[in-house]
Amino acid sequence: MRIDVVTIFPGYLAALREALLGRAIAAGLISVAVHDLRDWTHDVHKAVDDAPYGGGPGMVMRPAIWGAALDDVCALPEGSSADRDAADGDVAERDATERDVVVPRLVVPTPAGRPFTQAVAREYAAQPWLVFACGRYEGIDQRVFEDASRRMVVDEVSIGDYVLVGGEVAVLAMVEAVARLLPGVLGNPDSAAQDSFSDGLLEGPAYTRPERWRDLAVPEVLRSGDHAAIARWRRDQSLARTVARRPDLIAALPPDALQPGDRELLERLGAEGE
């Protein structure tokens, strides 16, 4: 998968090279290029923002700079930019016909966006190419996205109901959520399959050795060797935790998501969806 990020704070994205993501980049599973928006400015101050039409606080990022940046990034062959850090340095210049076939998905982090969920992460993981446009200030002139949507799918997405100063941290969160779903990125593919949200429920608690720590014991059932009992216990923990912490998820479960045996616990907790 190819990922491009356009930002006025390229340094923020250095964290992408760490840990799991860093290994995925080194292994050639993902290529990441971070572009400094100010490279597309022409004035001596490298100004990227201006006052909002209609008045109000804050500044809005100017359309011409973003338009030129996105045009260029979306036309760059993978591996060609000066600041690109592709896994392999031998990505050759491809001819125009080949490179015009793939159109990126443009992702714009904004608190005014649709929620970024595990389902959206799965959708993005199926894309060959994502371009992230990080806004700061009060946002980016809306015409940038109106124009881009004539050529590509544009998603304005939010990572939660709180306000960040800019999109960079949201991009780190989204890229991590997407990358771990790509084949080969996680050591054990079952990890992604068993995640919180993969079945619409939160994951229950986990334990490792020692059996007793500060007078606290590991639940007996997990040491029983009874695999059916362990599976039932884990499922009940998962259901109980979801009822307590995220009742909205229980209410949103599709009817076929509940297994035989789930209803008993939910009724005991008084949290049946309907």
Sole window of 21-29, 146-154, 164-172, 201-209 interacting with ligand 6GU (rule: CB under 6 A): 164-172
Q: Phi and psi for 126 in degrees, rounded to 5?
A: -90, -5
Residue 62 among the catalytic residues? no
Residue 247 among the catalytic residues? no
- Say if residues 25 and 85 touch (Cβ distance below 8 Å): yes
The full length of the chain comes to 274
Q: Number of residues interacting with ligand 6GU: please give it, by CB under 6 A.
A: 14
Q: Which of residues 91-110 bind ligand 6GU (CB under 6 A)?
A: 109-110
31: contact with ligand 6GU by CB under 6 A: no
Catalytic residue, chosen from 38, 94, 180, 232, is 180
175: contact with ligand 6GU by CB under 6 A: no
The alpha carbon torsion through 14, 20, 22, 25 (nearest 10 deg) reads -130
Beta-carbon contacts of 115 under 8 Å, excluding residues fewer than 6 positions away, are: 157, 158, 160
Element (H, E) at 113: strand 105-115
| Shorter beta-carbon distance to ligand 6GU: residue 168 or 262 | 168
166: contact with ligand 6GU by CB under 6 A: yes
Out of 41, 158, 237, 242, the only residue in the binding site for ligand 6GU (CB under 6 A) is: 158
Residue 17 among the catalytic residues? no
Count of alpha carbons within 13 angstroms of residue 84, beta-carbon side: 19
Q: Binding mask 108-127 vs ligand 6GU (x if CB under 6 A, - otherwise)? A: -xxx-x--------------
Q: What is the maximal distance between C-alpha atoms in the chain?
A: 71
